[in-house]
Structure 1
Amino acid sequence: MFPTSQLTEADREAGLKWYVRNGMFFKIMETLSIGVFLTAYALSLGASNLVIGVLAAIPSLTQLAQLPAVYLVERIASRRLVAVSLTLASRLLLLGAAAAALLQPGPAALLLLVVAFAIRYIFGAIAGCAWNSWVRDFLPPERRGVFSAQRLTWMTIMAAMAALAGGVFVDNWSALTGLPQIYAYSALLVIATFSGVLETIAMAQIPEPTPLPLEQGPEQKTGLFSPLKEKNFRRLVTFLFSWNFASNLAAPFFAVQMLRQLGLDLTTVMMLTALSQGANALVTGTFGSLADRYSNKRVLQFAAPLFIACIFAWTFTSLPERHYFTMPLLVGIHILTGIATAGVTLASGNMANALSPTNGATRHLALCAAFTAIAAGTAPIIGGLYADVLANYQFSLTVNWSAPDGETIIPAFDVTRWDFYFLAATLIGLWSLTRLDQIEEPSQGGRVRMRKELMMGVWRGVQTASSIAGLKAVSDLPIALITERLSRQKKPRAGKDKTEPPEA
Structure 2
Amino acid sequence: MKKAYLFLTLEGVFSLFYALLIQGPVFTGLAMLFNLDEFLLSVAAAIPPMMQFFQLFASFFVQKYRKRRFLVNVFNAFSRFSFAFLIVFLLLGKTEPLIFIVALVISQIFAALSSSTWNSWMRDLVPPEERGRVFGNRNMFLSIGNALIIYLYSSIVDHFSSGFVLVLLISTVGTVLSILAMNKIPDVPVKETGTGIPLKVVFKDENFMKFVFFTFYWNMAVTFSSAFYHYHLLKNLGVDYTYIAYMMIVNNFVAMLVYRILGKVSDRVGHKTIAEFGIILASFVSGMWFFMNTNTYRTLMVADAFLSSIAWSAINLSLAILPMEVAFESDPVFFGLNASFASAGSLIGSFAGGITAKFLSDIYVNLHGFEIFGLQLLFLMAGIFRFSAVFFLRKVKVKKYIPFRAFMLSTLSVTLRRPVYRILDVYLLLKRGNERVRRLVRRSKRRKSNTDEQGGEQG
TM over 0.5: yes
Q: Establish whether residue 228 from structure 1 lines up as the match of residue 203 from structure 2.
A: yes
Deviates more, 1:25-34 or 1:145-154: 25-34
Give yes or no for contact 1:44–1:105 (8 Å, CA) kept in 2: no
Q: Establish whether residue 289 from structure 1 lines up as the match of residue 267 from structure 2.
A: no
Size of the aligned set, in residue pairs, is 417
Match of 1:431 in 2: 388
Q: Establish whether residue 343 from structure 1 lines up as the match of residue 309 from structure 2.
A: no
Q: Report the residue type matching 2:342 in the other structure.
A: T
Kindly provide the CA deviation profile for residues 268-306 of structure 1, in whole angstroms up to 9, marking residues without a partner as x: 111112221122111011111111011011112211100
Kindly provide the CA deviation profile for residues 361-381 of structure 1, in whole angstroms up to 9, marking residues without a partner as x: 322111111111222244234
Separation (CA, whole Å) in 1 of partners of 2:195 and 2:126:
25
Separation (CA, whole Å) in 2 of partners of 1:204 and 1:371:
31
Q: Establish whether residue 144 from structure 1 lines up as the match of residue 131 from structure 2.
A: yes
Query: CA 1:95/1:425 → structure 2, altered by over 3 Å: closer, same or farther?
Result: same
Match of 1:66 in 2: 55
Separation (CA, whole Å) in 2 of partners of 1:159 and 1:137:
27
TM-superposed CA distance for 1:231, in Å, is: 2.0
Q: Report the residue type matching 1:46 in the other structure.
A: N
Match of 1:101 in 2: 90
Match of 2:252 in 1: 277
Match of 2:119 in 1: 132
Which residue, 161, 164, 170 being the options, matches 2:157? 170
Match of 2:323 in 1: 352
RMSD after superposition = 2.5
TM alignment of 1:50-61, pairs within 5 A: 50-61=39-50
Match of 1:301 in 2: 276
Kindly provide the CA deviation profile for residues 116-175 of structure 1, in whole angstroms up to 9, marking residues without a partner as x: 2221111121122211111110112221110000111111110111111221222121xx
Q: Establish whether residue 362 from structure 1 lines up as the match of residue 332 from structure 2.
A: yes
Query: CA 1:424/1:84 → structure 2, altered by over 3 Å: closer, same or farther?
Result: same
Q: Establish whether residue 193 from structure 1 lines up as the match of residue 169 from structure 2.
A: no
Give yes or no for contact 1:146–1:292 (8 Å, CA) kept in 2: yes
TM-superposed CA distance for 1:416, in Å, is: 4.1
Separation (CA, whole Å) in 1 of partners of 2:365 and 2:122:
48
Separation (CA, whole Å) in 2 of partners of 1:459 and 1:122:
48
Question: Unaligned 5+ residue runs, structure 1?
Answer: 1-11, 174-180, 399-408, 461-504
Q: Establish whether residue 373 from structure 1 lines up as the match of residue 343 from structure 2.
A: yes
Which residue, 357, 372, 379 being the options, matches 1:387? 357
TM-superposed CA distance for 1:415, in Å, is: 5.5
Kindly provide the CA deviation profile for residues 242-285 of structure 1, in whole angstroms up to 9, marking residues without a partner as x: 11211221121111000011110110111112221122111011
Q: Report the residue type matching 2:277 in the other structure.
A: F
Kindly provide the CA deviation profile for residues 201-222 of structure 1, in whole angstroms up to 9, marking residues without a partner as x: 21122112212213799xx4xx
TM-score (norm 2): 0.84
Which residue, 420, 427, 430 being the options, matches 2:377? 420
Which residue, 46, 51, 56 being the options, matches 2:35? 46
Separation (CA, whole Å) in 1 of partners of 2:359 and 2:95:
22
Give yes or no for contact 1:240–1:371 (8 Å, CA) kept in 2: yes
Q: Establish whether residue 161 from structure 1 lines up as the match of residue 148 from structure 2.
A: yes
Kindly provide the CA deviation profile for residues 301-334 of structure 1, in whole angstroms up to 9, marking residues without a partner as x: 211100000001111102xxx12x3210121012
Give yes or no for contact 2:25–2:230 (8 Å, CA) kept in 1: yes
Q: Establish whether residue 316 from structure 1 lines up as the match of residue 306 from structure 2.
A: no
Q: Report the residue type matching 2:155 in the other structure.
A: V
Separation (CA, whole Å) in 2 of partners of 1:92 and 1:51:
23
Which residue, 164, 186, 211 being the options, matches 1:207? 186
Give yes or no for contact 1:94–1:190 (8 Å, CA) kept in 2: no
Give yes or no for contact 1:242–1:428 (8 Å, CA) kept in 2: no
TM-superposed CA distance for 1:452, in Å, is: 6.5
Separation (CA, whole Å) in 2 of partners of 1:256 and 1:59:
18
TM-score (norm 1): 0.77
Question: Unaligned 5+ residue runs, structure 2?
Answer: 418-459
TM-superposed CA distance for 1:62, in Å, is: 1.4
TM-superposed CA distance for 1:456, in Å, is: 9.1
Separation (CA, whole Å) in 2 of partners of 1:28 and 1:225:
38
Separation (CA, whole Å) in 2 of partners of 1:215 and 1:49:
43
Give yes or no for contact 2:287–2:383 (8 Å, CA) kept in 1: yes
Give yes or no for contact 2:39–2:358 (8 Å, CA) kept in 1: no
Give yes or no for contact 1:26–1:199 (8 Å, CA) kept in 2: yes
Separation (CA, whole Å) in 1 of partners of 2:408 and 2:359:
42
Give yes or no for contact 2:146–2:249 (8 Å, CA) kept in 1: yes
Q: Report the residue type matching 1:437 in the other structure.
A: R
Separation (CA, whole Å) in 1 of partners of 2:411 and 2:148:
25
Deviates more, 1:245-254 or 1:45-54: 45-54
Query: CA 1:382/1:272 → structure 2, altered by over 3 Å: closer, same or farther?
Result: same
Give yes or no for contact 2:66–2:190 (8 Å, CA) kept in 1: no
SS of alignment partner, residue 192 of structure 2: coil
Give yes or no for contact 1:32–1:163 (8 Å, CA) kept in 2: no
Q: Report the residue type matching 1:429 in the other structure.
A: R
Match of 1:238 in 2: 213
Query: CA 1:213/1:423 → structure 2, altered by over 3 Å: closer, same or farther?
Result: same
Query: CA 1:389/1:449 → structure 2, altered by over 3 Å: closer, same or farther?
Result: closer
Give yes or no for contact 1:57–1:376 (8 Å, CA) kept in 2: yes
Match of 2:399 in 1: 442
Identity %: 24
TM-superposed CA distance for 1:386, in Å, is: 3.9
Separation (CA, whole Å) in 1 of partners of 2:405 and 2:331:
33
Separation (CA, whole Å) in 2 of partners of 1:19 and 1:459:
37
SS of alignment partner, residue 418 of structure 1: helix
Give yes or no for contact 1:286–1:457 (8 Å, CA) kept in 2: no
